[in-house]
Amino acid sequence: MALHRGKTSVRLWVMLLPPICCLIAFAAPISAQTDPAKARMQEMDRRELQLSGPTADNGHGNDPKRSQAMMDQVSEDFQRILTLHNEIVRSLVANQSLSYQFISDATGEIRKRSTRLQTSLKLPKPEPTTENRAMGTNLKVMKTKDELILLCKQIESFIRNPIIDKPGTVDAQQLEKARQDLHSVVQLSDAIKKQVDKEKP
Protein backbone atom coordinates (compact mmCIF):
# COMPACT_ATOMS: atom_id res chain seq x y z
CA MET A 1 0.00 0.00 0.00
CA ALA A 2 2.94 2.31 0.62
CA LEU A 3 4.03 4.31 -2.39
CA HIS A 4 7.66 4.69 -3.44
CA ARG A 5 8.62 7.45 -5.84
CA GLY A 6 12.19 8.70 -5.97
CA LYS A 7 13.27 12.26 -6.60
CA THR A 8 14.06 11.37 -10.23
CA SER A 9 10.51 10.20 -10.78
CA VAL A 10 9.11 13.36 -9.23
CA ARG A 11 11.45 15.51 -11.34
CA LEU A 12 10.27 13.76 -14.52
CA TRP A 13 6.70 14.42 -13.49
CA VAL A 14 7.41 18.07 -12.68
CA MET A 15 8.94 18.51 -16.14
CA LEU A 16 5.51 17.69 -17.57
CA LEU A 17 3.79 20.54 -15.72
CA PRO A 18 3.83 22.84 -18.75
CA PRO A 19 2.02 20.45 -21.11
CA ILE A 20 -0.40 19.39 -18.37
CA CYS A 21 -1.18 23.00 -17.48
CA CYS A 22 -1.49 23.75 -21.17
CA LEU A 23 -4.12 21.04 -21.56
CA ILE A 24 -6.11 22.60 -18.73
CA ALA A 25 -5.71 26.11 -20.09
CA PHE A 26 -6.82 25.30 -23.60
CA ALA A 27 -9.32 22.60 -22.57
CA ALA A 28 -9.35 21.01 -26.03
CA PRO A 29 -8.78 17.39 -27.04
CA ILE A 30 -5.23 16.77 -28.20
CA SER A 31 -5.02 14.85 -31.44
CA ALA A 32 -2.71 11.89 -31.82
CA GLN A 33 0.83 12.96 -32.51
CA THR A 34 3.33 11.03 -34.59
CA ASP A 35 6.26 12.39 -32.58
CA PRO A 36 5.48 12.52 -28.81
CA ALA A 37 8.76 14.31 -27.99
CA LYS A 38 8.07 17.01 -30.57
CA ALA A 39 4.47 17.35 -29.35
CA ARG A 40 5.68 17.73 -25.77
CA MET A 41 8.11 20.47 -26.78
CA GLN A 42 5.34 22.28 -28.68
CA GLU A 43 3.09 22.14 -25.63
CA MET A 44 5.91 23.45 -23.44
CA ASP A 45 6.54 26.30 -25.88
CA ARG A 46 2.84 27.20 -25.92
CA ARG A 47 2.76 27.21 -22.14
CA GLU A 48 5.87 29.38 -21.99
CA LEU A 49 4.18 31.88 -24.32
CA GLN A 50 1.10 31.90 -22.12
CA LEU A 51 3.15 32.39 -18.95
CA SER A 52 5.22 35.18 -20.51
CA GLY A 53 2.19 37.13 -21.71
CA PRO A 54 1.59 40.72 -20.53
CA THR A 55 -0.69 39.62 -17.67
CA ALA A 56 1.53 36.81 -16.40
CA ASP A 57 3.16 37.20 -13.02
CA ASN A 58 1.97 40.79 -12.72
CA GLY A 59 4.21 41.89 -15.56
CA HIS A 60 7.31 39.97 -14.47
CA GLY A 61 7.28 38.07 -17.77
CA ASN A 62 9.10 34.79 -18.30
CA ASP A 63 11.36 34.61 -15.26
CA PRO A 64 13.43 31.38 -15.25
CA LYS A 65 14.14 31.75 -11.53
CA ARG A 66 10.44 31.98 -10.70
CA SER A 67 9.70 28.99 -12.94
CA GLN A 68 12.44 26.94 -11.29
CA ALA A 69 11.27 27.97 -7.83
CA MET A 70 7.74 26.85 -8.66
CA MET A 71 8.99 23.50 -10.00
CA ASP A 72 11.08 23.01 -6.87
CA GLN A 73 8.09 23.82 -4.66
CA VAL A 74 5.84 21.37 -6.55
CA SER A 75 8.49 18.66 -6.23
CA GLU A 76 8.88 19.33 -2.50
CA ASP A 77 5.10 19.30 -1.91
CA PHE A 78 4.74 16.10 -3.90
CA GLN A 79 7.55 14.34 -2.00
CA ARG A 80 6.29 15.48 1.41
CA ILE A 81 2.76 14.23 0.74
CA LEU A 82 4.21 10.85 -0.28
CA THR A 83 6.38 10.72 2.84
CA LEU A 84 3.45 11.47 5.16
CA HIS A 85 1.26 8.98 3.27
CA ASN A 86 3.86 6.25 3.75
CA GLU A 87 4.28 7.04 7.46
CA ILE A 88 0.51 6.77 8.00
CA VAL A 89 0.27 3.55 5.99
CA ARG A 90 3.15 1.90 7.87
CA SER A 91 1.51 2.71 11.19
CA LEU A 92 -1.89 1.45 10.07
CA VAL A 93 -0.48 -1.79 8.65
CA ALA A 94 1.50 -2.42 11.84
CA ASN A 95 -1.65 -1.61 13.84
CA GLN A 96 0.25 1.07 15.75
CA SER A 97 -1.72 3.82 17.43
CA LEU A 98 -1.12 7.29 16.08
CA SER A 99 -1.08 10.23 18.46
CA TYR A 100 -3.62 13.00 18.06
CA GLN A 101 -0.74 15.42 17.58
CA PHE A 102 0.82 13.39 14.75
CA ILE A 103 -2.52 13.01 12.95
CA SER A 104 -3.26 16.71 13.35
CA ASP A 105 0.19 17.77 12.12
CA ALA A 106 0.27 15.25 9.24
CA THR A 107 -3.22 15.98 7.91
CA GLY A 108 -2.66 19.72 8.33
CA GLU A 109 0.50 19.55 6.25
CA ILE A 110 -1.10 17.29 3.63
CA ARG A 111 -3.96 19.79 3.32
CA LYS A 112 -1.60 22.77 3.01
CA ARG A 113 0.57 21.12 0.37
CA SER A 114 -2.38 19.65 -1.57
CA THR A 115 -4.06 23.05 -1.66
CA ARG A 116 -0.85 24.59 -2.98
CA LEU A 117 -0.64 21.85 -5.64
CA GLN A 118 -4.16 22.74 -6.75
CA THR A 119 -2.88 26.23 -7.50
CA SER A 120 0.54 25.26 -8.87
CA LEU A 121 -0.88 22.59 -11.18
CA LYS A 122 -3.92 24.68 -12.06
CA LEU A 123 -6.27 21.98 -10.77
CA PRO A 124 -8.94 24.16 -9.11
CA LYS A 125 -11.73 22.90 -6.89
CA PRO A 126 -14.29 21.05 -9.04
CA GLU A 127 -17.98 21.84 -9.07
CA PRO A 128 -19.90 20.17 -6.19
CA THR A 129 -21.28 16.76 -7.13
CA THR A 130 -23.58 14.27 -5.44
CA GLU A 131 -20.54 12.06 -4.83
CA ASN A 132 -18.65 14.89 -3.10
CA ARG A 133 -21.62 15.70 -0.88
CA ALA A 134 -22.06 12.02 0.00
CA MET A 135 -18.40 11.80 1.01
CA GLY A 136 -18.83 14.75 3.35
CA THR A 137 -21.83 13.07 4.98
CA ASN A 138 -20.04 9.71 5.35
CA LEU A 139 -17.07 11.34 7.10
CA LYS A 140 -19.30 12.36 9.99
CA VAL A 141 -19.91 8.73 10.95
CA MET A 142 -16.45 7.28 10.22
CA LYS A 143 -13.77 6.49 12.76
CA THR A 144 -10.44 8.29 12.48
CA LYS A 145 -8.63 5.13 11.35
CA ASP A 146 -11.14 4.60 8.54
CA GLU A 147 -10.82 8.24 7.52
CA LEU A 148 -7.03 7.89 7.37
CA ILE A 149 -7.36 4.77 5.20
CA LEU A 150 -9.69 6.67 2.86
CA LEU A 151 -7.26 9.61 2.76
CA CYS A 152 -4.38 7.30 1.83
CA LYS A 153 -6.48 5.70 -0.91
CA GLN A 154 -7.27 9.12 -2.37
CA ILE A 155 -3.59 10.08 -2.32
CA GLU A 156 -2.75 6.80 -4.07
CA SER A 157 -5.45 7.40 -6.67
CA PHE A 158 -3.98 10.82 -7.41
CA ILE A 159 -0.38 9.56 -7.55
CA ARG A 160 -1.26 6.58 -9.73
CA ASN A 161 -3.26 8.62 -12.21
CA PRO A 162 -1.68 7.95 -15.64
CA ILE A 163 -0.92 11.66 -16.04
CA ILE A 164 1.17 11.55 -12.86
CA ASP A 165 2.43 7.96 -12.93
CA LYS A 166 3.45 7.78 -16.61
CA PRO A 167 5.27 10.88 -17.84
CA GLY A 168 4.04 11.84 -21.30
CA THR A 169 0.39 10.85 -20.77
CA VAL A 170 -2.02 13.64 -21.65
CA ASP A 171 -5.69 12.79 -21.34
CA ALA A 172 -8.56 15.17 -20.52
CA GLN A 173 -10.57 12.55 -18.60
CA GLN A 174 -7.61 11.51 -16.47
CA LEU A 175 -6.82 15.17 -15.90
CA GLU A 176 -10.33 15.71 -14.53
CA LYS A 177 -9.95 12.64 -12.32
CA ALA A 178 -6.65 14.00 -10.99
CA ARG A 179 -8.44 17.24 -10.15
CA GLN A 180 -11.23 15.36 -8.32
CA ASP A 181 -8.75 13.18 -6.43
CA LEU A 182 -6.62 16.13 -5.34
CA HIS A 183 -9.72 17.97 -4.16
CA SER A 184 -10.76 14.89 -2.17
CA VAL A 185 -7.32 14.83 -0.51
CA VAL A 186 -7.79 18.47 0.51
CA GLN A 187 -11.30 17.83 1.85
CA LEU A 188 -10.40 14.65 3.74
CA SER A 189 -7.24 15.98 5.32
CA ASP A 190 -9.08 19.12 6.44
CA ALA A 191 -11.99 17.14 7.91
CA ILE A 192 -9.69 14.72 9.75
CA LYS A 193 -7.60 17.53 11.22
CA LYS A 194 -10.68 19.40 12.46
CA GLN A 195 -12.14 16.25 14.00
CA VAL A 196 -8.88 15.22 15.71
CA ASP A 197 -8.30 18.74 17.04
CA LYS A 198 -11.73 18.60 18.70
CA GLU A 199 -10.92 15.24 20.28
CA LYS A 200 -7.47 16.15 21.56
CA PRO A 201 -7.18 15.47 25.31
Does this model's pTM top 0.85? My answer is no
The reply to whether 41 falls in a domain is no
Query: What pLDDT, on the 0 to 100 scale, is given for residue 166?
Result: 75
By mean pLDDT, which of 20-29, 110-119, 134-143 is the weakest? 20-29
The reply to whether 53 falls in a domain is no
Query: What pLDDT, on the 0 to 100 scale, is given for residue 17?
Result: 53
| CB of 81 closer than 8 Å to CB of 114 | yes
Q: How far apart are CA 183 and CA 186, in angstroms?
A: 5
Contacts (Cβ under 8 Å, ≥6 apart) of 112 = none
Per-position DSSP letters for 117-137, written without gaps between them? HHHHTT-PPPPP-HHHHHHHH
The reply to whether 54 falls in a domain is no
Look up residue 42 and give its amino acid: Q
Q: How many domains does the chain have?
A: 1
The reply to whether 83 falls in a domain is yes
The reply to whether 168 falls in a domain is yes
- Farthest CA pair distance, the chain: 61
- Structural domain containing residue 75: 7-25+63-199
The reply to whether 38 falls in a domain is no
The reply to whether 109 falls in a domain is yes
The reply to whether 186 falls in a domain is yes
